[in-house]
Amino acid sequence: MITIDNDNLFIIFEELKDDNKTLFSCSLVNRQWCKIAIPILWRDPMKKNFNEQLLDIIKYSLPNKSKTFLLNQGIDINKNRKLQKKPLFDYIKYCKYLRFNKFNEYINLLTKTLKEEEDYFLIKQEIFKIFINKCSAIKYLDLKLTERYYQASHDDVSNYQLYKFPGAKNCFLEITEFHCDANIDSSIFYGISEICKLIQKIYVYQLYDNPGLIKLIKVQKNLKKFKYTASKFIKHRVNEFKGIGKALENNSKNLLHFKAMEDLYGNGLIPKMLSKFQNLEKLIIFRLCYCFMQYEIEQQLSFTSFPKLKVLHIQDASIYTVKKIIEKTEGNLIKLAIYDVEYDKNCNDNPFKDLIKTIYQNCPNLKFLRLEIRNNVLNDFEKLLINCNQLEGLVFEHCRWELYFIDVGKNLLNLLAKSSSINLCNFKFYHGWKFTHHFLNLFFEIWKERNGRIPLRFYMVGTNKFLSTFEKFKNEGIIEKYEDIDEIYFKCFEW
């Protein structure tokens, strides 16, 4: 057998880090492979669904001091343990991801036969101790609350002051990604901020101006990504984001990604803050129409220049605002997704034509585009296909006022078949497109006739109506993959 040195094996296994089945098979080859694969396999053992093996290893790995302490309280942690032999590795020390809610799931299973709430608290405390003591330099900490058991989950995070546990400094010092709910006690954030200053990604759910969270954001030295959803508990409060906004301004030079997730409750996004983020490479703002200060935000977006922007997703903005952002990206946009652009249904098509023109004049490097298409702008869209010749994927929304017009789908398919560049092979059709077997067959036949075309990935709502067509061209090698997309939720640029 050819010997592969450890460094190369590590590089290979890193590529397999999301393929647990293959990585586990590799660990069985020999001792060398096993010693390199196991630490990668056990970085995030709670990511997937319940793992009975992990539950047994937690029971076995508790130190004798903890087991004796629990036995003295009348709790036999090893009851019903299947694992009898000592594990080959100290698996827990390899964990680099600590997920609070997943701990809850495992500890609930360990304690499901207990009647006393105090016993539950004691067991959880000992298990937290072993993980925090053994896991040095974790990279990911998730303190997000469980929505279904919100109050209980909230109380749990508050009761267990994780940053005070033995070994907490070594455990949390090198965290680079932090997920949390802003509604937990400020003391948790204050405690973590004393240890963690190298966080690069912060994702906040139920965001509001928690003083401890403000401090945590402010002290970071290299914050690159910030994502949030606004709190449903702050409806009608305009300035609840002010402190967070100022803390983010302190990180504005390093901040590369800013994502305001959709919510149905409104949010206090501070318009002035956006002007500070001029090094952004990724800007995502959903549900802009629910912002309390939509007009002011759009005005700020139209004035601000994002010269390094590579990815833009924006929902419910006016065509004017979207155009102004695109014009000041200096040709760096690679991914552009425009959702539910605002317009008057009775207006003419000139704003849409101007938007398409703005895209093809300012986005020479564009690879992925999501856009609403109207029948009367197809000639302009053809110019986009010709000028943006690096396009690899398109996601189409149907104009909501033309839902029942079959000609729109027919004309678009014909245009794509004849004018797409050689790299463009990924298509998604979202919402109410009216296709027929005849139009689809004609599209695939024209595609086949053009030499050098890459096989298609074709997603749409209602593929089951055209299975015979899709299977025919898949067998001929024209289609690589086809799938039905969810009517509401789907990942925009993943094929």
CA–CA separation, 477 and 16 (whole Å): 28
For 458-478, write each residue's pLDDT tens digit: 999 888 889 999 999 999 999
Backbone angles phi, psi at 370, to 5 degrees: -115, 130
Pull the structure tokens for residue 473. Answer: 């061209």
Backbone angles phi, psi at 65, to 5 degrees: -60, -40
Q: Which residues contact 305 (CB under 8 A, 6 or more apart)?
A: 278, 328
- Which pLDDT belongs to residue 150? 47
Which residue intervals of 220-293 are DSSP H helices?
242-249, 271-274
Q: Are 403 and 373 in contact (CB under 8 A)?
A: no
Pull the structure tokens for residue 422. Answer: 């050689």
Which residue intervals of 47-185 are DSSP H helices?
52-61, 64-72, 100-110, 117-134, 150-159, 168-172
- Which pLDDT belongs to residue 148? 45
- Which pLDDT belongs to residue 234? 53
- Which pLDDT belongs to residue 262? 59
| Cross-strand pairs, 459 | 428, 483
Q: Are 485 and 430 in contact (CB under 8 A)?
A: yes
Mean pLDDT for 81-89 is: 78
| 149 pLDDT above the threshold of 50 | no
Mean pLDDT for 173-179 is: 96
Of 50-59, 164-173, 204-213, 450-459, give the lowest mean pLDDT range.
50-59
Identify which has the larger pLDDT, 393 or 67.
393
Mean pLDDT for 223-251 is: 77
C-alpha dist (Å) from residue 392 to 60, 183, 230, 372, 382: 51, 42, 34, 17, 15
For 414-432, write each residue's pLDDT tens digit: 999 999 998 999 999 987 7
- Which pLDDT belongs to residue 223? 97
| Cross-strand pairs, 335 | 311, 368
Q: Is the pTM of this model over 0.75?
A: yes
Q: Looking at residue 59, what DSSP letter applies?
A: H
CA–CA separation, 43 and 40 (whole Å): 5
For 32-44, write each residue's pLDDT tens digit: 999 999 999 889 8
- Which pLDDT belongs to residue 225? 97
DSSP H or E stretch at residue 8 = helix 6-15
CA–CA separation, 363 and 366 (whole Å): 5
Which residue intervals of 337-464 are DSSP H helices?
350-362, 378-387, 406-419, 437-449
Of 61-75, 218-232, 255-269, 434-448, give the lowest mean pLDDT range.
255-269
Averaged pLDDT of the chain = 84
- Which pLDDT belongs to residue 367? 97
- Which pLDDT belongs to residue 404? 45
Q: What is the dihedral of CA 102, 104, 110, 114, to 10 degrees?
A: -170
- Which pLDDT belongs to residue 233? 56
Backbone angles phi, psi at 21, to 5 degrees: -65, -50
Pull the structure tokens for residue 214. Answer: 């403000």
Q: If pLDDT is split at 50, 70 and 90, which confidence band does 236 have?
A: very low
DSSP secondary structure string for all residues of 352-383 = HHHHHHHHHHH-TT--EEEEEE-GGGHHHHHH
Q: If pLDDT is split at 50, 70 and 90, which confidence band does 308 have?
A: very high
Of 1-5, 111-115, 253-257, 258-262, give the lowest mean pLDDT range.
111-115
- Which pLDDT belongs to residue 264? 47
Count Cβ atoms below 10 Å from residue 189 Cβ, excluding itself. 24
- Which pLDDT belongs to residue 489? 59
Q: Looking at residue 329, what DSSP letter applies?
A: S
Among candidate residues 399, 482, 397, 470, the one with its CA nearest the CA of residue 437: 470
C-alpha dist (Å) from residue 309 to 256, 282, 437: 9, 6, 40
C-alpha dist (Å) from residue 219 to 174, 188, 246, 305, 396: 14, 15, 12, 26, 42
For 272-294, write each residue's pLDDT tens digit: 788 889 899 999 988 777 666 77
For 362-388, write each residue's pLDDT tens digit: 999 999 999 988 888 899 999 999 999
Return the exposure string of 434-466: e unless at least 16 CB atoms fall within 10 Å of the residue's CB, then b. Answer: ebeeebbeebbeebeeeeebeebbbbbbebeeb
